[in-house]
Amino acid sequence: MRVWHVFPLIAVLATAARAQAPALAASDKVYAEAQVDRPAMKKPGTLFPQYPEALKAAGIQGEVLAQFVVDVDGTPILDTFKVIKTTNVEFANAVKAALPEMRFAPAERKGQKVRQLYQTPFVFAMPSKAALHGPKGAQSAAPRHQ
């Protein structure tokens, strides 16, 4: 991506932000889910990505399979975010934008909180007409996204 050619100030600011962001040190071990006693889990009430308006208006559904490291304090380490697959780049952008606000219960190994590589799908689906109208008196369902 050559954004820095078009917007040099943005590139300088982004570089400065990366320089200030704590990177994973070589000694900071990251565990796979199978290596921990209790895996990281999304906390109840965690905000999830907003359905991109243009895709929602067009009735486009999709998903993102994302991977990132959950730190010992339950926050995602933003520099580790990676899209494994997506049906639309706008869905991936929505997930990336929401990541800083997401919170998790950190993984534990041998009684200690540890960093874990976390992989999860985010599904963007339009509610069905049955879900919207449902039985009399039922509440309308919001678009489903995890």
Digit-by-digit pLDDT tens for the chain (146 residues) are: 333 333 333 333 344 444 444 555 545 899 999 999 999 999 999 888 999 999 999 999 999 999 999 999 999 999 999 999 999 999 999 999 999 999 999 999 999 999 999 999 999 998 875 555 544 443 333 334 44
Architecture of domain 24-133: 2-Layer Sandwich (3.30)
Q: What is the distance between the alpha carbons of residues 50 and 10, in angstroms, rounded to a whole number?
A: 24
Residue from 69, 68, 72 nearest 113 by CA: 72
Q: What is the distance between the alpha carbons of residues 141 and 63, in angstroms, rounded to a whole number?
A: 19
Ordered by start, the domain boundaries in the chain are 24-133
Q: Model-level pTM greater than 0.85?
A: no
